[in-house]
Structure 1
Amino acid sequence: MDVKRHIVHIDLDSFFVSVERKFDPSLIGKAVIIGGSVDRGVVSSCSYEARAYGVHSAMPTRQAVKLCPHAIVLHGSHGRYSEASREVTQIIHDSVPLYQKTSVDEFYIDLTGMERFYDCYQIASNLRQKVIRETGLPISFGMASGKTVAKMATNQAKPNGQLYIKHGEERAFLAPLPIGKIPGLGESTCQKMYQYGIERIGDLQRTNIRFLEAVFGKAGTYLWEKAHGIDHSEIIPHSDRKSISTEHTFGSNVNDPRTLENILVSMTEELSGKLRRENKLSSCMAIKIRYANFETHTQQQKIPLTAAEHILIPGVKNLLKKAWNQHRPVRLIGVRLSDLCTGSYQINLFEDNEEQIRLYQAMDRINFKFGDKTICRAAGMEIGTRNFNPFMKG
């Protein structure tokens, strides 16, 4: 007999906006847009009041302001968001046995097995109230037999609500929803289904799986299973890899600041590229310096969640100034990015412009296709860095 799973999906509502409202309550109830400059920035987050005018994340800020001219536009305080994310994560970590953090403001929790002793829905309700009480942030959750239905339940419960889809009720819950509500379903797939008269998930439920496989290939099976609320994907524990690092030992000791800075730039580029490829963000950076007599020093600093080297490189250079006694030659130097969590590059949207974002995407595509460091900053090219061996730490 199949084990009945109890999966909870938790999502902080309009996370960046909610954090800003904590520090400035006058923003409550108003249309708020968080993003870069109006001229060239992009929207990182927006309030439900702004969404009502068609504003959404990753939209150019100038377009958002045209749609909602009375909106309050904020540049964003990413240090606050990182700290708020850490607070919520700690509460969840202390409250449940198994969870997965999928972004700075989103979590899955597996309560399967606890139903023998407790009411799982009550556990989730208590946890939500605890987060609201201790952080002052609005939060929603959905609970169901799998991750997909739980996430869709959360989306229906927003803003600041909760919804439990009981076992056996998945299909009835899903049927009236538009097919675009299925997580990860692209616009082109939706358009193709519209051509066959499939507009709601109920239409998809009534469609023969063989037909879906003929039209969509392997994706047809995926669509059919999602429409029926079938999702066996596991909760991957939060305690996966915690850091990524690289170091380099010089053939002869070095005490030239430019040489050390350039090699740090190159290593930081390499590590941040790896973070972006693995959809990771770091909130702590460190450097290691080993002198000629093998004496070793480290210096670290908490940072806003990021995977962008234009944010990381100035920080690493600053750590070098703090850690290095410039009268002493250096034998080894290293960089470590730690306190990793799963999350997309969106955390940086509010401080980058469109050109910056496109630059990173282009660099990552080229380096993925032709190998690391095919394209990088000039500083990183001045040092022969191809012999680095970045390694991961669990």
Structure 2
Amino acid sequence: MDNPRHIIHMDLDSFFVSVERLKNSKLMGIPVIVGGGDRGVVAACSYEARKFGVRSAMPMRQARFLCPDATIISGDHEDYSKYSRLVTEVIASSVPLYEKASIDEFYADLTGMDRYFGTAMFCKELKTKIVKESGLPITYGLASNKLLGKVATNEVKPNGQIEVPLGTERAYLAPLAVEKMPMVGQKTATLLKDMGVSTIKILSEIPPEMLIRLLGKNGSTLSRRARGVDDTPVIPYIEQKSISTEDTFSCDTMDLDFLQSRLVRMIEKIGFELRHQKKMTGCVTLKLRYADFNTVTKQCRIAYTASDHTLLETAAALLRKLYDRRLLVRLLGVRFTDLVTGAHQISLFDDTQEMISLYQQIDSIKSQFGPLSLIRASGVDKPDKDRQRVKQRALQLQRAYKT
């Protein structure tokens, strides 16, 4: 290869749990599970919980059964997004080209940087910088392609680092179990093992034509990857195209007042996020899932705005049109799309300077004390955990202003 690539794969270790531990040091060293109620699934779990068999996407009831002593946390997606943006900013300011594969996973193309200083040394310094600025543990794998970087990262987690030297790709993959190869899910792994293919070395020795007959067009890609070949480029990070949130209720409901109060809370939550990112939306989409899992959506295009009262009016109208079956509702979701960058523009017909000033003051308070520090009264339903959090925020706010 005339110009060998240098690709680093970075993965924040048990990201949601690590963020929670930054907020509460008492969670260090104990089993922690981040997820919804009994009807939800595990969003993340600590390595201590994984020893009991707990895994991401596992039903919460099963996770509780496997690890009854685990500390359960519902999670705070605002905080997770905040820390993800912080790490993204550190990486963006340090590397020439990066790809954000998920909220906690990154690739960076460091090709050519070895001409000026050692790529391995740069990666160590980048990890140190991320840990210093975010407080979060991170693992990385440095290799000649994305495939090797990801596999290597998974092998040395948590809080590890590794370099797979150029020319050793096939030898590195050879002894690993076949299910550790990306693209090989549980079903494919079972199929291969039934054929006696237990390691990537054996997989790499199968003629490509045989894999194509067995797995279709994916067989060709899998054959190349088993030999350590991956030409997939690092795709430059593209800014998000939507802002959304959804709520799966602990109990199915057909209480319209309850649905409206949750809708208010959700609109205010992502409306604040919209303004925080200095964006406006031109389309509101509402999603409703009934107890029989039938899911319906409806959207409405609007003049670009970031004002809660306008978004609430649109969302409420969509809810009235969408909820046309007298059945129990399981889930409610809202999504803003057609996003544009820019501050809110005053409408000569709808807004006043006082209204714009009010939003500025509201957002200032929410930025200081959190999104729950101020919400509309119509967004507070009957006593629950969220209401208690609202009361706590209100008390903190009162004490802050007294001092």
TM range (shorter): 0.5 to 0.7
The alpha-carbon deviation at position 207 of structure 1 amounts to 1.1
Could you say if the C-alpha distance between residues 271 and 75 of structure 1 is closer, same or farther in structure 2, counting changes exceeding 3 Å? closer
Match of 1:121 in 2: 120
Choose between structure 1 and 2 for higher RCO, CA contacts under 8 A separated by at least 6 residues: 1
Displacement of 1:290 in angstroms is 3.3
Give 1:149 deviation, angstroms.
Answer: 0.8
Q: What is aligned with 2:13?
A: 13
Which residue pairs with 1:50 in the alignment? Answer: 49
Instruction: Report what 1:165 is aligned to.
Output: 164
Tell me the equivalent position of 2:302: 248
Where has structure 1 moved over 4 Å in runs of 4 or more?
239-244, 255-261, 263-266, 284-289, 293-302
Residue correspondences, number = 298
- Supply the AA of the counterpart residue of 1:99: Y
Q: Gaps spanning 5+ residues in structure 1: where?
A: 250-254, 276-281, 303-311, 322-350, 352-394
Partner of 1:33: 33
- Summarize the Cα distance change of 1:51–1:288 in structure 2 as closer, same or farther, 3 Å threshold: farther
Distance apart, 1:77 and its partner CA: 2.2
2:335 corresponds, among 244, 247, 272, to 272
Alpha-carbon shift at residue 285 of structure 1 (Å):
11
Letter in 2 for 1:46: C
Question: Measured at CA, do residues 294 and 183 of structure 1 come closer, stay the same or move farther in structure 2, by a change above 3 Å?
Answer: same
Which one-letter code corresponds to 1:248 in the other structure?
Answer: I
Shift in Å, 1:293: 8.8
Q: Is the 8 A contact 2:175 2:199 kept in 1?
A: yes
1:64 aligned partner: 63
The structure-2 alpha-carbon separation of the partners of 1:258 and 1:60, relative to structure 1 and needing over 3 Å to count, comes to closer
Residue 273 to residue 157, structure 1, CA distance change in 2 (3 Å)? same
Separation of aligned partners in 2, 1:258 and 1:294 = 15
Task: Output aligned runs, 1:98-109, within 5 Å.
Answer: 98-109=97-108
Give the aligned CA root-mean-square deviation in angstroms.
3.8
Report the alpha carbon displacement of residue 70 of structure 1 after superposing the two structures with TM: 1.4
Query: CA 1:171 to 1:53, structure 2 compared with 1: closer, same or farther past 3 Å?
Result: same
Q: Which residue of 2 aligns with 1:82?
A: 81
Give the corresponding residue for 2:150: 151
Looking at structure 2, the residues matched to 261 and 109 of structure 1 have their Cα atoms a distance apart, in angstroms, of 39
One-letter amino acid of the structure 2 residue matched with residue 18 of structure 1 = S
- Residue of structure 2 equivalent to 1:290: 347
Task: Report deviation, 1:289.
Answer: 6.7
Q: Which moved more, 1:51-60 or 1:238-247?
A: 238-247
Instruction: Return the alpha-carbon distance in structure 1 between the equivalents of residues 11 and 342 of structure 2.
Output: 27
Read off the aligned partner of 2:164 and give its amino acid letter.
I
Match of 2:223 in 1: 224
- The alpha carbon displacement at 1:262 in A equals 3.6
Equivalent residues of 2:32, 2:70 under 8 A apart = yes
| Letter aligned with residue 36 of structure 1 | G
The gaps in structure 2 that reach 5 residues or longer are 244-280, 283-300, 304-308, 321-331, 365-370, 380-385, 387-403
TM-score normalised to structure 1 length: 0.66
In the aligned structure 2, how far is the partner of 1:106 from the partner of 1:114?
Answer: 21
Length-normalised TM-score, structure 2: 0.65
CA contact (8 A) 2:241 2:337 kept: no
Check 1:288–1:35 CA distance in 2 against 1; reply closer, same or farther (3 A cut): farther
Distance 1:238 1:207, change over 3 A: same
